[in-house]
C-alpha cells in the first residue's frame, strides 16, 4: 500500500511587462499592489494543495483542492504579538511535512497529543484508556490486520512499516499503550484501512506541521484514462476534454465547503 503525498498547486506568477508598455499610473500601482498582497497571502497565510489519495475519505476526497491556513497553528515568530495562535487539539486535521521525506506534504487527523497514551483494539481507538467516538471514520475491510487494527504490537509487523519507526516504537510502549512524546503528535487517516499514518512511520514533530485545511475551493472526480490520440488532433482533443471535465466531473456541491 503506497500513499502519494499532497500535491502543491503551483503558484501562477505574472509575466514581466516591458517598461515602455505602461506609464506608472494609478491603475498600474493598483495592479502591482494586488500582486504584492496576493504573493504575501500565498507565502505567509494560505497555501493550495490537491488531495491525491483516499486516506482521508470521506472527509477529503481525491481531487479536492484545499486552501490551507498557515497562520492558525504558527508557532511564535514575528506575528506572535498580533495574531492569536491555536493550540493543536485531538480531532484537528493538519497538513504537515512527511517525517520520512520532509519535502512531501501529508494531511491527517490528530489522534494523540503530547503525553497521551494510544492503543487500538479491533479497530477501536483508545486514548488514555477511554474509547473515543469518531463519526468521521470509515472502514473498507472486514478483515483484521493485527498490526494495523490492534496497534501497538511487537508480535507482528506490516510490510509498510518504516524500519526506524519499528525500533523507536518498541521503546515507547508501556502496558500496551504507545506514549506520545513531548513536541510530537500521533495522526491517522479517516479511511482507517487505507491510510499510511503514524502507525507505520511514527509521530509528527510540532515543527513539521504547516497548517490546517480551511476550505475546499474546487473539487473534481478522478478523470478516466485518456484515449490514445493521433498527433494531429492530440492537442485540440486534450483542450476540449479539459474544458468538458470541468463541467462534467466537477463536484459542485463540495466547492467552498469548510473542512472539519
Instruction: Rank 31-40, 73-82, 119-128 by mean pLDDT and report only the highest.
Output: 119-128
Please, which residues have CB within 8 angstroms of residue 28's CB and are 6 or more apart in sequence?
A: 22
Q: Is 123 a catalytic residue?
A: no
The structural domains of the chain, with segments of one domain joined by +, span 7-111+184-258
The DSSP letter of residue 192 is G
Least confident of 8-22, 57-71, 127-141: 8-22
Confidence at 18, pLDDT banded by 50, 70, 90: very low
CB 47 within 8 A of CB 209: no
Q: What distances in angstroms separate CA 160 from CA 42, 148, 163, 208, one per listed residue? A: 35, 10, 9, 22
In this prediction the pTM is 0.80
- pLDDT for 226: 43
All 3 cell numbers of residue 162?
518504516
Counting Cα atoms < 13 Å in the Cβ hemisphere of 81 gives 1
Marked catalytic residue, from 2, 27, 70, 108: 108
Marked catalytic residue, from 55, 195, 198, 219: 55
Is domain 7-111+184-258 annotated with CATH 2.10.109.10? yes
Q: Is 257 a catalytic residue?
A: no
Res. 65: pLDDT tops 80:
yes
Please, which residues have CB within 8 angstroms of residue 133's CB and are 6 or more apart in sequence?
A: none
Amino acid at each position: 500500500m503506497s500513499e502519494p503525498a499532497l500535491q502543491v498547486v503551483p503558484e501562477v506568477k505574472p509575466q514581466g511587462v516591458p517598461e515602455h508598455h505602461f506609464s506608472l499610473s494609478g491603475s498600474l500601482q493598483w495592479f502591482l499592489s494586488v500582486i504584492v498582497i496576493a504573493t504575501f497571502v500565498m507565502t505567509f497565510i494560505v497555501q493550495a494543495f490537491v488531495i491525491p489519495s483516499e486516506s482521508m475519505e470521506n472527509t477529503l476526497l481525491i481531487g479536492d483542492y484545499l486552501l490551507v491556513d498557515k497562520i492558525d497553528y504558527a508557532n511564535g515568530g514575528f506575528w506572535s504579538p498580533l495574531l492569536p495562535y491555536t493550540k493543536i487539539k485531538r480531532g484537528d486535521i493538519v497538513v504537515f511535512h512527511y517525517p520520512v521525506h520532509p519535502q512531501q506534504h501529508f494531511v491527517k487527523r490528530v489522534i494523540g497529543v503530547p503525553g497521551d497514551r494510544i492503543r487500538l483494539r479491533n479497530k477501536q481507538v483508545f486514548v488514555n484508556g477511554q474509547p473515543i467516538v469518531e463519526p468521521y471514520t470509515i472502514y473498507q475491510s472486514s478483515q483484521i490486520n493485527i498490526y494495523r487494527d490492534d496497534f501497538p504490537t511487537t508480535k507482528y509487523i506490516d510490510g509498510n512499516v518504516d524500519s526506524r519507526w519499528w525500533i523507536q516504537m518498541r521503546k515507547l510502549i508501556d502496558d500496551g499503550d504507545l506514549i506520545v512524546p513531548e513536541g510530537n503528535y500521533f495522526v491517522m487517516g479517516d479511511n482507517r484501512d487505507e491510510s499510511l499514518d503514524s502507525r507505520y512511520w511514527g509521530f509528527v514533530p510540532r515543527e513539521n506541521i504547516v497548517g490546517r485545511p480551511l476550505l475546499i475551493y474546487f473539487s473534481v472526480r478522478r478523470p478516466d484514462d485518456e484515449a490514445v490520440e493521433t498527433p494531429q488532433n492530440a492537442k485540440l482533443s486534450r483542450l476540449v476534454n479539459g474544458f468538458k471535465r470541468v463541467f462534467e466531473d466537477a463536484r459542485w456541491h463540495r466547492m467552498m465547503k469548510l473542512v472539519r
